[in-house]
Amino acid sequence: MSEVIEKVSIRITINGQSYRRKVEPRLLLVQFIREELGLTGTHVGCDVTYCGACTVLVDDKPTKSCTLLAVQADGCEILTVEGLEQDGELHPLQKAFSENHGLQCGYCTPGMLMSSMALLAEKPDPSPAEIRKGISGNLCRCTGYNNIIKSIQAAAREMAG
């Protein structure tokens, strides 16, 4: 016997656009973002909050979207990596990651960028130790982190003007 799951109505603003949808109560936010909205920049890595590839900003706080239900984000404002680019221009963090070789395979990059956004909003001129702490919830298996730290420092300088 198949169980019928009643859908729940949610309203979420993602990258400045408001969405109203009916979703299953067990739908993860990462699935909503990727499958319902087609925003595939948010990556699915480990599904257990370990790797951070799925990190988005929920009401300006870095959040691992693989363990947050879409219904829990009802009424929230979410920023994904797609929302960083404005009017065809890359965000200074995106530019810095490219120019300073802060990525290799790129799988962790969306989550790193989103965690870095939150860090720089809180600490506009972070030390290397503060950067390490700020991105500690994001794993990179390729870079060794040195160029990621350089990238975040370069973006901080650019954003400071």
Residue 79 domain-assigned (yes or no): yes
* Tokens read off for 106: 């790129």
Q: pLDDT per residue over 111-138, tens digit each?
A: 999 999 999 999 999 999 999 999 999 9
CA distance 146 to 26: 38
Mark whether 79 and 98 lie in a shared domain.
no
Mark whether 17 and 76 lie in a shared domain.
yes
Residue 2 domain-assigned (yes or no): no
CATH number at residue 129: 1.10.150.120
Mark whether 17 and 67 lie in a shared domain.
yes
Which residues constitute the domain of residue 141? Answer: 92-160
Closest by CA position to 153, among listed 129, 121, 131, 137: 131
Mark whether 16 and 79 lie in a shared domain.
yes
Judged against a pLDDT cut of 80, whether residue 161 lies above it is answered with yes
What does the pLDDT read at residue 48? 82
Q: pLDDT per residue over 69-107, tens digit each?
A: 999 999 999 999 999 999 999 999 999 999 999 999 999
CATH number at residue 30: 3.10.20.30
Mark whether 106 and 152 lie in a shared domain.
yes
Cross-strand pairs, 148: none
Numbers of helices and strands, H then E, in the chain: 5, 5
Judged against a pLDDT cut of 90, whether residue 5 lies above it is answered with no
Q: Among 83, 108, 142, which residue terminates a domain?
A: 83
Residue 12 domain-assigned (yes or no): yes
Q: Among 42, 60, 83, which residue terminates a domain?
A: 83
Sequence-distant (6+) residues with CB within 8 A of 117 are 57, 62, 79, 84, 91, 93
Residue 143 domain-assigned (yes or no): yes
Element (H, E) at 31: helix 29-31
Residue 1 domain-assigned (yes or no): no
Give me the number of domains the chain comprises.
Answer: 2
Q: Among 63, 83, 103, which residue terminates a domain?
A: 83
